[in-house]
Amino acid sequence: MKLLMSLTLLALVLTGCSSTKREISPEERENEDIERDFLVRDASSNIRPGWIEDSEVWAKEHGKDIKKYRYFSFETAPKRSREISCKIAKANARTDIAGEIRTFIDQSLGISSEGAAGIDENDPDVKGMREFVENTLVEKIQALIHGAAVMKTYWEKRKYMKDRGAKKDYTAWTCAVFVRMPNDRLQNAIDEAARHVLNNVDDPGTKAKVQKALENAANDFVKAKQGVN
């Protein structure tokens, strides 16, 4: 009887512990548990949101509409005030989305260049196209992004300390934003960005190969964000 009561008590204790842990999803951490070269002196929440680390995984786990929208996050480097940090986070969110798209297009072109016979990396058309993607495309894509909405904001006031590894003692703020963008508008932006790339290629043979490499770029990007192979 005593053994049965002990086992029952143990089961209740374990159940209580596991339910407590489930209140915080695996990617979320209490600020007090973070060991860095700073201490968090204040924050908009006592939990650092999981969407900062992986916006898409967090969105799936929290029942967000992942069929209609794609989700992004951006966190600033330390700034001298909370207001400046959050303004930069909101302003740079579109730049960050554009940067992801640019990287994806550049990788698609790189795979095409390496895998397709007849595409010469030393060809002036190919070089010009890649330089356009690397140096100009982010600005072009930013102008094409419409409907990106900041859904959540999180900020931290940090005390950086030399004895914890920082270069000097100072106080700074960081800010992160969670952004939602409709799939259809995102795909339109990618399709238009691909057209910009094609317009920078003169050689018909190279243009045909580039077009093939980018013809499914919009769908491929969305699938990659969803984690679909």
The string of pLDDT tens digits covering residues 80-116 is 999 999 999 998 888 889 998 998 888 888 765 555 5
- The span from the CA of 54 to the CA of 75, in Å, is 12
- With vertex at residue 43, the alpha carbon angle to CA 40 and CA 46, rounded to the nearest 5 degrees, is 90
Give φ, ψ of 120 to 5 degrees: -100, 120
Please give the distance of CA 131 from its chain centroid, rounded to a whole number: 24
pTM of the model as a whole = 0.73
More confident residue, 17 or 76: 76
Give φ, ψ of 50 to 5 degrees: -70, -20
The arrangement of strands across the sheet holding 38-43 comes to 38-43, 149-160, 170-182, 69-75
Task: Decide if pLDDT at 119 tops 60.
Answer: no
pLDDT at 38: 93
- The span from the CA of 34 to the CA of 32, in Å, is 6
- For residues 159-181, give the mean pLDDT: 95
Task: Kindly state the DSSP code that residue 162 receives in the 8-state scheme.
Answer: G
More confident residue, 19 or 228: 228
Cβ–Cβ < 8 Å for 82, 172: no
Task: Decide if pLDDT at 51 tops 50.
Answer: yes
pLDDT band at 205 (very low <50, low <70, confident <90, very high): confident
Q: Which of 5-19, 82-96, 186-200 has the lowest mean pLDDT?
A: 5-19
- The span from the CA of 198 to the CA of 192, in Å, is 10
pLDDT > 90 in the chain, percent: 39
- Taking every pair of C-alpha atoms in the chain, what is the biggest distance, in angstroms? 86
Task: Decide if pLDDT at 9 tops 70.
Answer: no
> Tokens 């010009």, residue?
128
